[in-house]
Amino acid sequence: MSHSFHLQPNRDRIQRDILTLAEMVDKTKPGWTRRPFTPWYKQSRAWLKEQMEACGLDVKIDAGANLIGTMAGTDDHCKPIMIGSHTDTVTGGGRFDGIIGVVAGLEIARRLQETGTRLRHPLEIVDFTAEEPSEFGISTIGSRAMVGHLSPEMMERTDQSGLKLKDGIQMMGGAPNRIAELTRKQGDVSLYLELHIEQGPVLEQSNKQLGVVTGIVGIHRYRVIVEGKPNHAGTTPMNMRFDALAGASQFVLELENLCKATYADPVVGTVGKLMNEPNGANVVPGRVTFELEVRSLDAGIIETIIDKFSRFSNHIAAYRSLEISLDNLSKSEAIRVLPEIQDKISKACAAAGSTMYLPSGAGHDANQLANIAPVGMIFVPSSDGRSHCPEEWTDYVDVARGIEAMARALLEFDRSI
């Protein structure tokens, strides 16, 4: 790491921030679990607001309940550069996913204040609400709200406790009834930057310290409900059953088959959530609900797979005398990072460590921000490629290196855009 760089991040402080946030978790759950709309999330937000204010940021919560700290720029004509990510986690998640991106913004703001450095552009540091898939079946809630992609129908969705999403946003300090009115438009933001762990093994296996992200996959999510008839497992003959789980099992395996085929762009498909009712050892399953997602840089490939899956599922459901419904929960479209953004980020990264280009197989808030502004992302290595689990790990020296690269990129973009 170059020690002559005047915005050099403070590694001890970065580590302290990450470990502090790691204490604000639901300790009844595995790993480091901080789900949105929970007391632990509120606690971490209060701490983050204090940290933002301490380094001179003007802090507010917007209509989508995003926490935003703003540093004024010297040129009134410049639209803000935004650095953001998220601090919510999946259940049983780790301490780095999303979190290092928010800590990066906070540390850069501190270093700007400590060195008396003024940017031409206003700088916005954002902790986006509920980036991870939520109990409402929707991910990137805060960034969707910011760019006008959180529909009234989405805001009426309920979680298992009956809470409506719009009420959750209100609870976190947002203003759901003003989201449409306060949507950011094309041109309102000069550039969006995000630092993130890779969440995969490529950087580590390639022996590279930093990744310049070339694009982010689109993610289409669906909820599938399979209705059969619950019945006694001992007295119902095999040829007289309407077994929802047996049917659902065929559907899950068909999705795997479809996504294993060869396409022009890589594709992955997953069923990671499944509920069986009544879930008794001696009862033929009567209803199964599962959620599937398909990811690719090519939306056409995703649509083809979903179309084939739907036709197969309807055919099998008819054969088994089951009812099936396919409900689209959300679609985030794939984005490709502009070559000129990649070039500047690559130069900033090369000054801080060994660098390579790679796409992101995970979705990010950047997917949504790309609707209103150019976006750029930097990856740092994930140990053993692990993420969304307690074993998720990135060395603090790697986090600090990523923040240095982000700061270098910020200064270059501030001069040139």
Whether residue 160 sits in one domain with residue 64: yes
Whether residue 140 sits in one domain with residue 64: yes
State the pLDDT at residue 1: 44
Task: Detail the DSSP E strand segments found in 112-209.
Answer: 123-127, 191-197
Residue at a domain's end among 312, 332, 352: 332
Q: Confirm if 129 and 142 have CB atoms less than 8 A apart.
A: yes
Assess if residue 147 is contained within a domain: yes
Specify burial of residue 311 (Cβ count, 10 A radius: 0-12, 13-18, 19+): exposed
Distances, alpha carbon 194 to alpha carbons 101, 148, 223, 230, in Å = 6, 20, 29, 48
Number of compact structural domains in the chain: 2
State the pLDDT at residue 330: 85
CATH classification of the domain holding 270 = 3.30.70.360
Task: Tell me phi and psi for residue 146, to 5 degrees.
Answer: -60, -35
Whether residue 287 sits in one domain with residue 270: yes
Residue at a domain's end among 301, 332, 363: 332
Assess if residue 39 is contained within a domain: yes
Whether residue 394 sits in one domain with residue 258: no
Assess if residue 169 is contained within a domain: yes
Residue at a domain's end among 332, 358, 390: 332
Chain-centroid distance, C-alpha 322: 34
What angle, 0 to 180 degrees and rounded to 10, lies between the N-to-C axes of helices 339-350 and 396-416?
130
Which helix (H) or strand (E) is 92 found in, with range?
none
Please, which residues have CB within 8 angstroms of residue 302's CB and are 6 or more apart in sequence? 218, 220, 267, 294, 295, 296
Task: Tell me phi and psi for residue 81, to 5 degrees.
Answer: -95, 135
What is the DSSP annotation of 201-227? SHHHHTT-SEEEEEEE-EEEEEEEEEE
Q: Verify cis geometry, omega within 30 degrees of 0, for the bond prior to 278.
A: yes
Q: Which residues pair with 350 in a beta bridge?
A: none
- Helices of type H across 235-338: 244-260, 299-320
State the pLDDT at residue 170: 98
- Helices of type H across 25-72: 39-54
State the pLDDT at residue 13: 98
State the pLDDT at residue 317: 98
Whether residue 76 sits in one domain with residue 48: yes
Closest C-alpha to 137, from 218, 224, 30: 224
Assess if residue 78 is contained within a domain: yes
Whether residue 248 sits in one domain with residue 179: no
Assess if residue 4 is contained within a domain: no
Whether residue 136 sits in one domain with residue 49: yes
Whether residue 206 sits in one domain with residue 247: no
Please, which residues have CB within 8 angstroms of residue 400's CB and are 6 or more apart in sequence? 1, 9, 11, 14
Residues of the chain with pLDDT under 70: 1-4
Secondary-structure percent of the chain, ordered helix, strand, coil, rounded to 5: 35, 25, 40
Whether residue 286 sits in one domain with residue 340: no
Assess if residue 49 is contained within a domain: yes
State the pLDDT at residue 332: 82
Q: Which domain holds residue 70?
A: 11-217+334-416
Assess if residue 6 is contained within a domain: no
Distances, alpha carbon 304 to alpha carbons 1, 262, 299, 314, in Å = 46, 13, 9, 16
CATH classification of the domain holding 127 = 3.40.630.10
Assess if residue 125 is contained within a domain: yes
CA distance 388 to 199: 8
Whether residue 341 sits in one domain with residue 291: no
Whether residue 144 sits in one domain with residue 39: yes
State the pLDDT at residue 2: 46
Q: What one-letter code names the amino acid at 3?
A: H
pTM above 0.85, yes or no: no
Whether residue 313 sits in one domain with residue 175: no
Residue 81 DSSP SS3: strand
State the pLDDT at residue 247: 98
Closest C-alpha to 213, from 194, 233, 226, 240: 194
Closest C-alpha to 188, from 65, 411, 410, 371: 371
